[in-house]
A and B are shown apart, each in its own frame.
Chain A
Amino acid sequence: MLVKICSIANIGLETVLVDVEVDVAASGFPGFTIVGLASQAVEEARERVKTAIVNSDFEFPNKKITVNLAPADLPKDGSAYDLPIAVGILIASNQIPPLSDLENSFFYGELSLDGTLRATRGILLLGLFAQKKANTSIFVPFPSAREASVISEIKVYAIKSLNQLADHLSGIKIINPLKHIEIEEEIEETEVEFDLMEVAGQEQAKRALIIAAAGGHNLLMYGPPGTGKTMLARAMPGILPPLTPNEALEVTRVYSISGLLSSGQSLLKRRPFRSPHHGVSAAGLIGGGSNPLPGEVSLAHLGVLFLDEMPEFPRGVLESLRQPMEDGVIEIVRAAGHVKYPASFTLIAAINPCPCGYLGHPKRECKCNERQIAKYRHRISGPILDRIDLFVSVSAIDVEKLSLNTPMEVGRISSKKAKELVLKARGIQAKRFSDLKIYTNSQMRNKEVKNFCLLTSEAENILKLAAEKYDFSARSYYRLIKTARTIADLESSEKIIPAHMAEALQYKQTI
């Protein structure tokens, strides 16, 4: 008998329908073959399926079994076809009755040898795919099932084992589909890992952080070790606005395909904060592999990518950031195919002023000579620096000033307060860009800058003066206007007045 089970294949974040056709022939030499460009992991499904069926007290038919994964020319990878193959065999050998709406049911998941189902990657993508068709049900492993529960209009069955599924299909013991969860309920306020209050001094760096968060600008902090660069960067998630439902779904897709959601987790609840070590490879950073998986830039989508000690990253790896920083997406091309992942992140980079780290330190002496310093700074190329909007110095502070009870800062700001400022500025931007496909000031192209950035004539004069004095490139010219726009937004000002422009100049490129 021939049975057709619906399943899917994920190529990057694209999902295509895969028909798992299982034939248990009445005659022929007993055997078990899988065809349809199956990878090694799929080939091994034979052993897992056979053992799981036997260990679930079913009979493995001693007949000629052929499995075809159609379309046959699409390479298929992963262990998720275990479940559809097993179900196909059981139905084709009449051990469980055929489902009435087999063409509207998707099966996807990895089997373990005892017949239980294991966590499987990409369940959210399956759910989103199934949603496009009316009245669909998906049968997925229990540990990963909650990923799909945020999707409306589909029935999600969380399956613990092959036996449980068989009981359900035969009508002996019906499983209830998972309750639908509203995305809004799942999104949490980000717990503050580091409050801005905890960082002593560094008022200007904090201000830069708020501007960066408000306008989605990339930020580079430079200063000697131990001055709080890392702490400041880690305070960033605490002042970013929470994810919107659409954003949450978008980021979770990336995490779902990477298998980074923990068991029982439905959505990524907070904006991602990724801080890869400088030993990272280009494939690790931007994504790769023969079936390309998302890299750190995609995992930081809609969140923060923090590169500590940026010049220590291999130059080639850093250069690979150019495309995602410009376009917000990354296209990975491999022999097996070509995939696109979203990669719209805010970059926060931290660098030391020189290799030893103590250049310009008030007490400690720098041991580097000029050539070493120039070489160190040249490791970050112009095009990368050109894509960074804010540069801020995080200078060394005296230990006595660190003491917590000296009132030293003017208007010391807490993360909560900063977040309110950021939310307000983001609100203004959302209104401004409501007809466009961008969300923040940093994403403006030159055309939008001209349309939306109203400069008073005095502000324009300052800009011209500065352009002459500092010899700006066209790109840094626009970058400054964008920064000034965000500063104006933070003050709810429609026009960019001289004070905004002058403050923006504080964060101009200095290295």
Chain B
Amino acid sequence: MLVCYSKIMNYKKIKNWQKLPELKKLKDLSSPPKELFFLGKWDPKIFKSSVAVVGSRKMTDYGRRVIEKIIPKLVFEKKTIVSGFMTGVDQAAHLNCVESGGKTIAVLGWGINYKLERADLKLAERIIESGGLIISEWENQKPTLWTFPYRNRIVAALSSEVIIIEAAIKSGSLITARFAEKLKRKVWAVPGPITSRTSMGTNSLIANQKAQMWIDIPPQPEITISGDPLLTLIQNEPLTTNEISRNLKLSVSQVGAQLSLLTLQGILIEREGKYYLNDAG
């Protein structure tokens, strides 16, 4: 791993980024970065069509499910995922993109030479190995309160669309949304439950017409639910084993056995004790 790190973790400076055609979008900014540094293999094609996916650091399970739904689709459409490399939605978006075989750009909220923590380092390596980029406008800047919202302008500028997944009312993602609006990028927000604090920001963006509501009109489900009452039940709402047993009036051991089998067959997914239909199925 370490050998690998030293080989690919040598950052480089982009000379005269203003002259590169692929970075033209950055010039839309009123305060474009002075310099740009990057890690990874520079490939102009990566900037061709990119979407920013940003959101809360405190991602809930709902946020994770949204990411797992949206990102593979975007990757399939050959979009590059741009995000801010923070814990929560950002990193989950990077990771899911890498896992789905896509390319992703991480814009750091600190200097490129700043030492990463172990878990972050692993993700950074995966991003680079998969042909993605890690960029920053600073060389040795430490992460502080102002650096994070400041780099959001680059995230917004690099992409043609911005999707916000889960943001609290005072979230950095809303700053990204404001930049995106100024830059005339298309802003999407994923609606969430009105009881969840981490969805208040996104919901208010939609309510104030600052963002378009991202909803996914599902194609007719491909799995034929062959009258199995268990699947019909889960189709409406993810449930725990206990709830399913109560609804179907079957013992937990029977229901449990059925659920295990359906999960093994890939028809269901289990997460944090709840069962979902596997849409990717």
Residue ranges of A at the interface with B (Cβ–Cβ < 8 Å): 201-204, 206-207, 353, 359-360, 363, 365-371, 374, 393, 395, 408-411, 462, 465-466, 469, 487, 498-500, 502-503, 505-506
- Shortest CB-to-CB span from B56 to chain A, Å, is 10
Q: Please indicate the chain A residues that have their CB under 8 angstroms from the CB of B274 in the complex.
A: 360
Interface centre among B87, B245, B252, B254 (most CB of A within 10 A): B252
Determine if A203 and B257 form an interchain contact, defined as CB atoms under 8 angstroms apart: no
Cα-based distance from A174 to B158 in the complex (angstroms): 102
**B257 contacts A499, C-beta separation under 8 Å:** yes
Chain A neighbourhood of B87, CB < 8 A: 369-371
Asked if B273 is an interface residue, CB under 8 A from chain A, the answer is yes
Contact A365/B197 with A203-B252, A204-B242, A410-B246 known, Cβ cut-off 8 Å: yes
Decide if B240 is an interface residue (CB 8 Å cutoff).
yes
| Contact (Cβ within 8 A) A503 B250 | no
Knowing A363-B195, A371-B87, A411-B251 are in contact, say whether A202-B242 is a contact too (CB < 8 A): yes
Is A201 a contact partner of B242 (Cβ separation < 8 A)?
yes
Task: Give the chain B neighbours of A499 by CB distance below 8 A.
Answer: 253-254, 257
Give the distance to chain A from B117, nearest Cβ to Cβ, in Å.
8
Q: Find A366's partner among B58, B245, B257 (CB 8 Å cutoff).
A: B58
Tell me if B252 and A207 are in contact (CB < 8 A). Answer: yes
Tell me, rounded to whole Å, the shortest Cβ–Cβ distance linking A425 to chain B.
13
Q: Is the beta-carbon distance between A203 and B196 smaller than 8 angstroms? A: no
Q: Could you say which of A201, A203, A206, A370 contacts B88, with CB atoms under 8 Å apart?
A: A370
Q: Which residues of B contact A370 (CB under 8 A)?
A: 59, 87-88, 91
Interface with A: B45-53, B69-77, B258-266, which one?
B258-266
Contacts of A366 in B (CB 8 A): 58, 60
Partner of A395, one of B58, B261, B263, B273: B273
| B249 at the A interface (CB under 8 A) | yes
Is B119 an interface residue when CB atoms closer than 8 A count as contact? Answer: yes
**CA separation between A453 and B273, bound complex, in Å?**
28
B272 and A462 form a contact (CB under 8 A): no
Across the interface, B272 reaches (CB within 8 A) one of A201, A359, A374, A498, namely: A359
B173 contact set on A, CB distance < 8 A = none
Given known A366-B60, A369-B88, contact A502–B257 (CB-CB < 8 A): yes
Residues of A within 8 A of B260 (CB): 462, 466, 502-503, 505-506
Chain A residues in 8 Å Cβ range of B119: 371, 374
| A506 surroundings in chain B (CB, below 8 A) | 241, 256-257, 259-260
Are A203 and B197 also in contact (CB < 8 A) when A369-B87, A506-B256 are?
no
B103 at interface, CB cutoff 8 A: no
Residues in B whose Cβ lies below 8 Å from that of A371 = 87, 119
- A353 — which chain B residues lie within 8 A by C-beta? 272
| Distance between A190 CB and nearest chain B CB, rounded to angstroms | 25
A410 CB to closest chain B CB, in angstroms? 5
- B198 close to A (CB within 8 Å): yes
For the complex, is B222 an interface residue (Cβ under 8 Å from A)? no
Residue ID in chain A nearest B265 by CB atoms: A465
Minimum CB distance partner of B273 in chain A: A393
Asked whether B61 is an interface residue with its Cβ less than 8 Å from the other chain, the reply is yes
Please report the C-alpha to C-alpha distance between residue A462 and residue B195 in the assembled complex, in whole angstroms.
40
Q: Say whether B246 contacts A408, CB under 8 Å.
A: yes
A sample of 27 cross-chain residue pairs with beta-carbon separation below 8 angstroms, ordered by A number, consists of A203-B241, A203-B245, A204-B240, A204-B245, A204-B256, A206-B252, A207-B252, A207-B256, A360-B61, A360-B272, A363-B195, A369-B87, A369-B88, A395-B242, A409-B246, A462-B260, A462-B264, A466-B260, A466-B264, A498-B261, A499-B257, A502-B256, A502-B257, A502-B264, A503-B253, A505-B263, A506-B259
**B198 CB → nearest A CB, Å:** 7
Given contacts A203-B241, A502-B257, A506-B259, 5 further A-B contacts (CB under 8 A): A371-B87, A371-B119, A408-B246, A499-B257, A502-B264
Q: Which residue of A lies closest to B261 (CB)?
A: A502
A363 to B254, CA, bound (A): 29
A203 to B254, CA, bound (A): 12
Q: Is B94 an interface residue (CB 8 A)?
A: no
The interface residues of chain A lying within 8 Å CB-to-CB of B153 are none
Name the residue of chain B whose CB is nearest to the CB of A505.
Answer: B260
B18 CB, min distance to chain A CBs, angstroms? 37
CA distance A411 to B91 in the complex (A): 45
Q: How far is the CA of A124 from the CA of B229 in the complex (A)?
A: 61
Q: List the A side residues contacting B196 at CB < 8 Å.
A: 365
Distance of A322 Cα from B148 Cα, bound (Å):
45
Q: Which 3 A-B pairs have the closest CB atoms?
A: A393-B273, A502-B257, A505-B260
Q: Does B151 contact A (CB under 8 A)?
A: no
Q: Is B57 an interface residue (CB 8 A)?
A: yes
Considering the complex, give the chain B residue whose CB is closest to the CB of A372.
Answer: B87
- A448 to B259 alpha-carbon distance, docked (Å): 29
Q: How far is the CA of A499 from the CA of B256 in the complex (A)?
A: 9
In the bound complex, what is the Cα–Cα distance between A465 and B265 (angstroms)? 9
| Chain B residue contacts of A462, Cβ below 8 A | 260-261, 264
With a CB–CB cut-off of 8 A, which chain B residues contact A503?
A: 253, 256-257, 260
Q: Which residue of A lies closest to B249 (CB)?
A: A410
Cα A466 to Cα B262 in complex, Å, equals: 11
Residues of B near A202 (CB, < 8 A) are 242
CA distance A506 to B264 in the complex (A): 11
Nearest-neighbour CB distance to chain B for A290, whole angstroms, equals 42
Across the interface, name the chain B residue whose C-beta is closest to A463: B264
CB-CB < 8 A to A502: which residues of B?
256-258, 260-261, 264
Measured in the bound complex, the distance between the Cα atoms of B258 and A479 in whole Å is 20
Q: Which A residues are CB-close (under 8 A) to B272? A: 353, 359-360, 393
A201–B258 alpha-carbon span in the complex (Å): 20
Residue of A whose beta carbon sits closest to that of B197: A365
* Cross-chain contact A207 with B253 (CB below 8 angstroms): yes
- For A466, list chain B residues within 8 Å (CB): 260, 264
**Nearest-Cβ distance from residue A138 to partner chain B, whole angstroms:** 52
CB distance from B99 to the nearest CB of A (A): 16
Which residues of chain A are near B61, meaning CB under 8 Å?
Answer: 360
From residue A391, how far is it (CB to closest CB) to chain B in Å? 10
Tell me the complex Cα distance, A503–B261, Å: 9
